[in-house]
Amino acid sequence: MQVTELWRYPVKSMGGERLESTDVGELGIEGDRRWGVFDVATATVLTARRAPELLFASARCVDDAVVVTLPDGDDVEPGSADAVLSTWLGRAVELRRAGDEGGTYENPMDVDNEADWVSWTGPAGAWHDSRWSRVSLASTGSLGDWDIRRFRTNVVVDGAGEDGFVGDHIRIGGAELAVFKQIDRCVMITRPQPGLDRDLGLLKGINRDRSGCFSIGALVASPGCIAVGDAVEHLRPA
């Protein structure tokens, strides 16, 4: 297997940016999910589950800051981000950098009717849903014709068989990852976004054929740099 694509999503649930190489630290790909849109009224970090319009904005890292581009193409100045995003979303929000406390997230258990919402708290440091996944990986064999943007996966590799890494370590470039889980999928992957229509059948198919999971999630065992073209080495236990 070799890396074919690298993706960073600086603001949770917004579109991201493709990279040729990146540093990977304890919190994952540098700058990934470092910012989130915090809903003041509910004290939750908004995702496209509750606010699908987030998928039509995008974000990129510039030095140690983030630049958000709205659907109309306008870039949001850092100093006015809270006011501009609040006006756009029609609710009071703040663009928050992740810190020492994890975010609270929501998900509807009844996908068809978007009802029976549940909430949970994610890990600190970056706005990840799960404490067992800082870097996500999927193969082109598993993706098939699906668009990777549906899944917000960080690393795409050629070939197939990534589910076999769960429970083991892998090395990519200078980084070593401890693969903990298959990533369970939610209503977010069905949402429309630029160039992609709504697709409820996608989640139903993954639930039916893949037990609700797509791609794998890992923690960073040893930081390092990874790049497009790097080989993936499966470090099997002795």
Domains contained in the chain, number:
1
Q: What is the pTM of this model?
A: 0.91
Whole-angstrom distance, CA of residue 81 vs CA of residue 74: 12
Maximum Cα–Cα distance for the chain, whole Å? Answer: 56
pLDDT in tens for each of the 238 residues of the chain?
A: 999 999 999 999 999 999 999 999 999 999 999 999 999 999 999 998 889 999 999 999 998 899 999 999 999 987 899 999 999 999 999 999 998 888 888 777 777 777 777 877 888 888 888 888 999 999 999 999 999 999 999 999 999 999 999 999 999 999 999 999 999 998 889 999 999 999 989 999 999 999 999 999 999 999 999 999 999 999 976 5
Exposure string of 9-46, with b = 16+ CB inside 10 Å and e = fewer, is bbbbbbbbeebeebebbebbbbbbbbbbbbbeeeebbb
Q: What is the distance between the terminal CA atoms of the chain, rounded to a whole angstrom?
A: 21
Whole-angstrom distance, CA of residue 187 vs CA of residue 165: 26
Sole residue written with tokens 């999928």: 185
Q: Where are the alpha helices (DSSP H) in the chain?
A: 81-89, 140-143, 200-210
What domain range is 223 assigned to?
A: 3-235
| CATH code where residue 205 lies | 2.40.33.20
Whole-angstrom distance, CA of residue 58 vs CA of residue 43: 22
DSSP 57-95: -EEEEETTEEEEE-TTSPEEPGGGHHHHHHHHHTS-EEE
